[in-house]
């Protein structure tokens, strides 16, 4: 009998959970995608996303602490950019799962409709 692979450490599980929590907010996902192709200042992000500077700064700080974003200061401006492009892979994986679930649901509804004599 082969030994089962070692379970990841509790510390690793905690770090994974922290990274996922940093992405688990619709505003943070909007910020992430606004930074997908280039770095932006807080002002640029406010112009595109709206909201208050205080709220945006709170989200940017949370994402920076999680290692998803990085920042640099130039004069009076702070520029943010994506530090970990793997965050986009997480988003794509979740989108793919939502899409698969929608297809399965649609198939189930269509099958049920046919059995009820409801057509398509």
Q: What is the pLDDT of residues 87-98, one digit of tens each?
A: 999 999 998 999
- Structural domain count of the chain: 2
Q: Which domain holds residue 104?
A: 85-120
What is the pLDDT confidence band of residue 8, given thresholds at 50, 70 and 90?
Answer: confident
Same domain, 22 and 74: yes
Across 6-26, average pLDDT: 92
pTM summary value: 0.79
Same-domain check for residues 78 and 89: no
> Which pair of tokens denotes residue 56?
């945006």
Alpha-carbon distances, residue 44 vs 25, 34, 41, 77, 105 (angstroms): 20, 10, 5, 10, 40
Output the pLDDT for position 117: 75
- The string of pLDDT tens digits covering residues 43-89 is 999 999 999 999 999 999 999 999 999 999 999 999 999 999 999 99
């Amino acid at each position: 009998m082969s030994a089962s692979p070692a379970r990841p450490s509790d510390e690793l599980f905690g770090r994974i959970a922290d990274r996922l929590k940093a992405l688990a907010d619709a505003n943070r996902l909007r910020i992430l995608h606004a930074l997908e192709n280039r770095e932006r200042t807080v002002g640029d992000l406010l112009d595109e996303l709206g909201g208050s500077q205080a709220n945006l700064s709170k989200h940017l700080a949370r994402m920076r602490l999680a290692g998803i974003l990085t920042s640099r200061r130039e004069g009076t401006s702070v520029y943010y950019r994506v530090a970990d492009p793997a965050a986009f892979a997480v988003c794509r994986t979740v989108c793919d799962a939502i899409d698969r679930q929608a297809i399965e649901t649609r198939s189930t509804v269509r099958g049920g409709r046919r059995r009820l004599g409801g057509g398509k």
